[in-house]
Amino acid sequence: MTNVVRIKHTSGAKQRVENAHKIMGLANTFSNQLEGIFNEWAKVKVTDREVKKLIQLALCPNKETFDLIKKGAEDEISTLFKNTVEDAFAYAMISDTQQMDTTKGTLFGAYNAVTGYYQNVRNYKNDEAKLQSIVLGGTAQLKSQKAFELCTAFALDGAEILNLN
């Protein structure tokens, strides 16, 4: 992000400038709030098993897979989904960015594993497909949002939200 807004110099430009100021102010406020959340998550310790479960739940493609995860029926889960989870988990365990004090064994690291998988591991057809997935409401953005919600719940309620048996 570059904090740049381009506005055509036409009638109504004044209103668009005012709107841009408002939006950029909201973006700065939101960014500051996220920084605070991520700093708190960096203090919350998680086990490798919890990280894997968070990844699994965040990347879950549908209700059927979710039900299989919940009942522990790993052998019935699709190979494609298992491979995706393994790739994201491997990223969580071995990526250089995942070995820092703020990420290794922390809730922030678990969240970063999901976003990092989509940004650094997953293969896309082209750059446009990657942008669509990560920024413009595609799969990566949806799964990252799910990871954010799971990590928020974990920070508040602990591992109980994972139903680890």
Q: Which has the minimum average pLDDT: 7-11, 52-56, 137-141?
A: 7-11
Look up the pTM and report it: 0.73
Task: Write the pLDDT tens digit of every residue in 29-82.
Answer: 656 677 778 888 889 899 999 999 999 999 888 899 888 888 888 888 899 989
- What is the C-alpha to C-alpha distance for residues 64 and 61, in angstroms, rounded to an integer? 8
- What is the C-alpha to C-alpha distance for residues 66 and 64, in angstroms, rounded to an integer? 5
CA atoms within 13 A on the CB side of 11: 0
The band of 121, judged by pLDDT with boundaries at 50, 70 and 90, is confident
The band of 7, judged by pLDDT with boundaries at 50, 70 and 90, is very low
